[in-house]
Amino acid sequence: MNQDDAEVIGLCLQGDVDAMHQLVERYQSAVFGLCLRILGHREDAEDTVQDVFLRTFRNLEKWDPMRPFKPWILTIAANRCRTALEKRSRQARTIDNSMDTFNSKHSNRTSDRTDLGEELDLALARLRSDYRICFVLFYQQELSCADISQMLDCPVGTVKIWLHRARKELAEHFTRRGIVPEGHYELPRI
């Protein structure tokens, strides 16, 4: 029997452990995928996913059953990723430093690289966190600009600007890396 989110959440609020497991199973891959794309490190993403679900269950009674659950939990995930990125920068472990290390280890493999996903991860890691979060929510999680705007508590126009800038920076990265010729790479429009 496939229960809808509201039913499962109602059972969770009553303390049903099986329903809690079901909710985690239902959203674990979406939350993990978002965290991994934003944070760029598997271990950081795993830690953040645990934090997301802890916060989700602590605040489950605040969810509005008249609204979809997925954007609500992804908002929590995006906010926890922002916090993790801020903490990382305070600890002087910036994304640029980690990517410079990656580049120095793999600089001879650039021409041999065939995995576009790996290149995208490299390029995403270099984006400003707001741009990266918007890009991942829009293209990977397939959320609308309005949903992202609500999640990030900023105007829709700002989300569109961040997406435009993210696409531009990614295209420039792919051009610099020789993956696509200049002017030939374009992501779908908003």
Cα–Cα dist 166/124, whole Å: 8
Cβ neighbours around 144 below 10 Å, total: 14
pLDDT at 114 over 60: no
Which domains occur in the chain, in start order?
1-93 (1.10.1740.10), 95-190 (1.10.10.10)
- Per the listing, tokens 């609020």 go with 13
Q: Is the pLDDT of residue 155 over 80?
A: yes
Angle between helices 17-39 and 69-90 (to 10 degrees): 50
Secondary structure class of 8 (helix, strand, coil): helix
The span from the CA of 127 to the CA of 90, in Å, is 18
Tell me, what's the pLDDT at 3? 73
- Cα(189)–Cα(160) distance, rounded to whole angstroms? 10
pTM flag (> 0.95): no
What is the band of 28 on the pLDDT scale with cuts at 50, 70, 90?
Answer: very high
The pLDDT of 129-145, averaged and rounded, is 89
